[in-house]
Amino acid sequence: MSAAVTFPASPSRMPALNIAVLGAVKATGLALAQAVEQSLASSPCQLHWQFAQSAQDSADAQLRWLLAWDEGAFEDQEPAATIAALQAHQALRQSLHALGLAYQVLRGTPPAQLSQALHTLLPWLPELAGVLPQTGVESRRPGWRCSDCSDPACEHRSFTELLAQRAQP
């Protein structure tokens, strides 16, 4: 997304939105936050950022973005450090599940992650609906795209149904 979205004038009492960015590489989270801020420069919504390493630290956030595991980010480290980082990432996911905290996994290239992040803002900024690129397949969840989802049960059901549809004459 290269240009900022222009928002119509709105009341000055637009609430702040607390967003927690979770993941092992803080620099990636900071770059994502800056890209979102730049894309929404004229937004009436104030974004408050947290860069958390634990699920508990993100408990008060309205949105949680988990940066997908990126093995390439650890290429220069010793194997033991990479394994430790992967285990910490898995523990973070398990902790989010155990606490019942909803989160969105952001995958792919930085532009793809930005697009996914902006799509998660639709409930707070419905003005984005006409501006954001429509990619991926519609999900079972209204407003979500399968390409943005990390629910393995949903993915399995969708794949099973697709196979059944193709098997029918």
Residue 144: what pLDDT?
55
Contacts of 67 (CB under 8 A, 6+ apart): 21, 22, 23, 24, 25, 28, 29, 32, 105, 106, 113
Q: Which residues of 86-99 are buried (b: 16+ CB within 10 A; e: fewer)?
A: eeebeebbeebeee
pLDDT in tens, 60-89: 999 999 888 776 666 677 888 778 878 888
Q: Are residues 83 and 131 located together in one domain of the fold? A: yes
CATH code at position 46? 3.40.50.300
Judge if 107 and 163 occupy the same domain: no
Whether 120 and 129 have beta carbons less than 8 Å apart is answered as no
Q: What's the pLDDT at 27?
A: 77
For residues 100 and 114, membership in a common domain is answered with yes
Which residues face 104 on adjacent strands? Answer: 65
Same domain, 146 and 111: no
- Answer yes or no: is 109 within a domain: yes
Residues of the chain with pLDDT under 70: 1-15, 24-25, 71-75, 133-154, 169
- For residue 62, the tally of other CB atoms under 10 A from its CB is 14
pTM greater than 0.85: no
In a domain, 5, yes or no: no
pLDDT of residue 18: 92
Domain residue limits at 81? 16-135
CA distance 19 to 49: 5
pLDDT at 6: 47
CA distance 127 to 46: 15
Q: Is 3 domain-assigned?
A: no
89 with 142, same domain: the answer is no
What is the Cα gyration radius of the chain? 18
The rounded distance, in Å, linking the Cα atoms of 77 and 138 is: 39
